[in-house]
Amino acid sequence: MSVLAILEQRGSLKPCALETASAANRIASEAGLELDAVYIGESLGEQAAELAGLGIKRVFCFEDTALACYTNDAYVSIVADLVRELGATVVLGSATALGKELCASVAARLDVELIQDCIEVWWDGALMARKPIFAGKVLTDIRVANAPAMASLRPNVTPIVRDGTALPTLVKRDVSATRARTVLKEAVMAAPGTVELTEAKRVVSGGRGIGGPEAWPVLQALCDVLGAALGASRAAVDAKWIASNHQVGQTGKVVSPDLYVACGISGAIQHQAGMRTSRIVVAINKDPNAPIFKICDYGIVADLLEVVPLFTKAVSGGAGS
């Protein structure tokens, strides 16, 4: 019996993999269980050093060029078979687009319970998971009494906690028997330097208040100096000012960055559902009564087209004007 952490990679280990391992380590120590992890990808190689001090005893490595990119059938078979083999009590993945699909498919394959998009997990005689519901208005604690219990953890909500420098044992697995019915022919990657919205530490979002698509370069300039991802409200997406993969909210992506800058966004409850767990929220809006000001840490009542360039200049070291 053990806790199994799924280590997500895209070429290299993602920060959310280390967060998931940290959360799994907490559960393992509270439950008195050992912590194992699974890596599926081309090669873990020297990245194994990043797993030091996370309490992982063994990492089961399924390495092959054919496994470099996610395919549902290959990844699901590997994880489901491993969960059965280890008799895992708890299985934890990341609540990224990939992680949510993988966890849901594994849970369906094993016919077990899964709590998706948790903001906290712990052990209390069984897996406990906290997650926002009703568009983020309510936090609910769920107890999963059956084993194996599965949960996926929202990126950026769990600190990476290391205790010492102990490295896990790498257990290389033969992947020759892994049969994938799907073949990935091409993976179209985002442009180099593009920050994935759901895992970004900083997000700058624009809403209807930006006035039109010609204003995106103003926000993008701020993104560039902050190293931020570009988000949008549904109003901006519905107006076809930006592609829907930028949408933040109830029917868009959920983000939990350290910094969320909302530009010309009123702060409707459906938008809040996607950004409410951000650590610091800065709102720029002309209307002092906009609901976004009720949930922000710093509010600027002004025209965003005047303020955002000043913000960009200040961050890039040109403050003073």
Point out which residues bind ligand FAD (CB under 6 A). 207-209, 233-236, 247-252, 264-266, 268, 270-271, 274, 284-287, 290, 303-305
Closer CB to ligand FAD, 55 or 264, in the complex: 264
Distance of closest approach, residue 58 Cβ to ligand FAD, in angstroms: 40
Closer CB to ligand FAD, 53 or 291, in the complex: 291
The closest of 67, 60, 44 to 2, measured between CA atoms, is 60
Helix ranges restricted to H, the chain? 15-31, 72-86, 97-110, 216-226, 234-238, 269-272, 292-295, 304-313
Closer CB to ligand FAD, 3 or 215, in the complex: 215
The two tokens of residue 274 are 């996607």
Return the exposure string of 264-282: e unless at least 16 CB atoms fall within 10 Å of the residue's CB, then b: bbbbbebbbbbbbbbeebb
Distance of closest approach, residue 242 Cβ to ligand FAD, in angstroms: 11
219 φ/ψ angles, rounded to the nearest 5 degrees? -75, -35
The closest of 106, 295, 100, 283 to 198, measured between CA atoms, is 100
Closer CB to ligand FAD, 23 or 219, in the complex: 219
Distance of closest approach, residue 208 Cβ to ligand FAD, in angstroms: 4
Distance of closest approach, residue 40 Cβ to ligand FAD, in angstroms: 31
Peptide bond into 148 cis (omega under 30): yes
Closer CB to ligand FAD, 55 or 252, in the complex: 252
Distance of closest approach, residue 98 Cβ to ligand FAD, in angstroms: 20
